[in-house]
Structure 1
Amino acid sequence: MTLTVPVPPTMRNLQEVIHSRAIQPTFQPVVHLEDGVVKAYEALARFDKEKFPSPADAFAAATRAGIGVELELLALQRAFAHLDEMPAGAWLSANLSVEALLTPQVSATLLAHASRNIAVELTEHAQVHDYPAVVRVTEALRAAGILIAVDDAGAGFASLSHILQLRPDIIKLDITLTRGIDADPVRMALARSLVGFAHDIGAMLIAEGIETVEEHEKLRALGVRLGQGYFLARPGPLPDRAEIETPALRTRS
């Protein structure tokens, strides 16, 4: 007699997501702090909340099940399906782990869209054991015109190692440094030093998690030029191009 091994509910949910491509991308603007102009959008994956309370839950479950890279690739593909909707001049950034980045299918997907004004945000809290391999991939992507970003800068040793090894085009200041920066001299000092560091290596610095006017004003005073967070704009659909173009047309009329 053949015994059927029951599939755990979480694994079944993951299989359903991948089979039906049930990831809904949403997009959070990256804004120029001086004038509010949107310079980029970060693509974020959203799932059925009845199956996964948060995106972090879905990706963590996929990693435990050994299909984390497969889910990341699907999220990347679903985000890139909206490239034609991107406002002119703005870039689209997608989050990837180092493990996913080193996967040939993921690299091929990125290179296939290299001319579309895209960036890769690398987030990795675990130690990377083969930086030369990572650098080979990031250099190939950069040579093709893809921006390389290091996420969560200042949150731990891994992000600083990424910066030293990968020499990114974009450094994203972690939310733990942004939160309450207007009232914390230590956070101010670190942000100020990262502003100078980013300038010296020719990288853009983006502050994440800006949630108050005080944080916004302090970051701007410290020389941070780009930011994102709920104070500026919540994640949502990409704007209709007609809505973007209409105010400019009215100004000229």
Structure 2
Amino acid sequence: MAFQPILRSNAAGRRVYAYEALVRGPAGEGAGGVLGTVTEANRYAFDQACRVRAIEMAAALGLTETEARLSINFMPNAVYEPRACIRATLAAAERTALPRDRLIFEFTENEAMQDPAHLLRILACYREIGFRTAIDDFGAGHSGLTLLADFQPDAVKLDMALVRGVDQDSRRRSIIRHMVSLCADLGCDVVAEGIETEAEFRVLQDLGIMLFQGYLIGRPGFETLPRLALAA
């Protein structure tokens, strides 16, 4: 696993809001090669192993000694029955003393559209247990507003293609400004992903975003919880 920080920046200052767990090979190889080995036959075992590994490693690295959350990507099509498939995750959280409300489970728009009814059952179960949920790569597809209405996530992570060069594109700024307002009405946090420049960061702050992720904020750290790269 690698862990990438998500920054919360507001009037109270800057701090790590969460770390996203990113799958890596044994020597730090990128996610592409690892995910390429996932098949229908091993998908469930892989999804379960990633969840437990992320929780145990993050705790061993000191996450539970901070206020930061842990964000985990999960595969909805690897979950055959929500309560049965969550047992190992709950056991890992209990072993490491990681409170349930500090776990965030991310899913993508494309995954949501494969079997919406199934994902709704999963998310209802996760909310009842006390987990938080997030839509990753929001804006990359064509059903974003329907997802907000149907799935009611705790957070949306704006796709990096939407925020790239936002400081030089008035149309992107307008879209994001309205997205921030809409999500505020829905009680949903907004995370800007893929932040690479100070100019992007400043403009997004001015648009009302307080949660940020990207190389400017901090690069993924292999088997470590990296510090924020952005100076206070």
TM-score scaled by structure 2? 0.82
Q: After TM superposition, give the deviation of residue 96 of structure 1 in Å.
A: 1.0
Q: Which residue of 1 aligns with 2:77?
A: 99
In structure 2, C-alpha distance between the alignment counterparts of 1:227 and 1:102, rounded to whole Å: 33
Q: Secondary structure at the match of 2:19?
A: strand
Q: After TM superposition, give the deviation of residue 161 of structure 1 in Å.
A: 4.0
User: Is the 1:151–1:159 Cα contact (8 Å) retained in structure 2?
Assistant: no
User: Is the 2:8–2:210 Cα contact (8 Å) retained in structure 1?
Assistant: yes
Q: After TM superposition, give the deviation of residue 179 of structure 1 in Å.
A: 1.0
User: Is the 1:153–1:174 Cα contact (8 Å) retained in structure 2?
Assistant: yes
In structure 2, C-alpha distance between the alignment counterparts of 1:234 and 1:133, rounded to whole Å: 34
Q: Which residue of 2 aligns with 1:33?
A: 9
Q: Which residue of 1 aligns with 2:45?
A: 70
Q: After TM superposition, give the deviation of residue 102 of structure 1 in Å.
A: 4.2
Q: Which residue of 1 aligns with 2:185?
A: 200
1:231 aligned onto 2:216: yes
Q: Which residue of 1 aligns with 2:130?
A: 145
Q: Secondary structure at the match of 2:99?
A: helix
Q: Secondary structure at the match of 2:113?
A: coil
1:108 aligned onto 2:95: no
- Give the residue type in structure 2 aligned to 1:155: A
User: Is the 2:76–2:111 Cα contact (8 Å) retained in structure 1?
Assistant: no
Query: Which runs of no fewer than 5 residues in structure 2 stay unpaired?
Result: 228-232
Identical amino acids, percent of aligned pairs: 33
What is the 5 A alignment of 1:42-191? Answer: 42-48=20-26, 54-63=30-39, 66-84=41-59, 85-86=62-63, 87-104=65-82, 106-112=85-91, 113=93, 115-116=99-100, 117-125=102-110, 128-157=113-142, 159-191=144-176
In structure 2, C-alpha distance between the alignment counterparts of 1:178 and 1:81, rounded to whole Å: 33
Q: After TM superposition, give the deviation of residue 144 of structure 1 in Å.
A: 1.5
Q: How many residues align?
A: 213
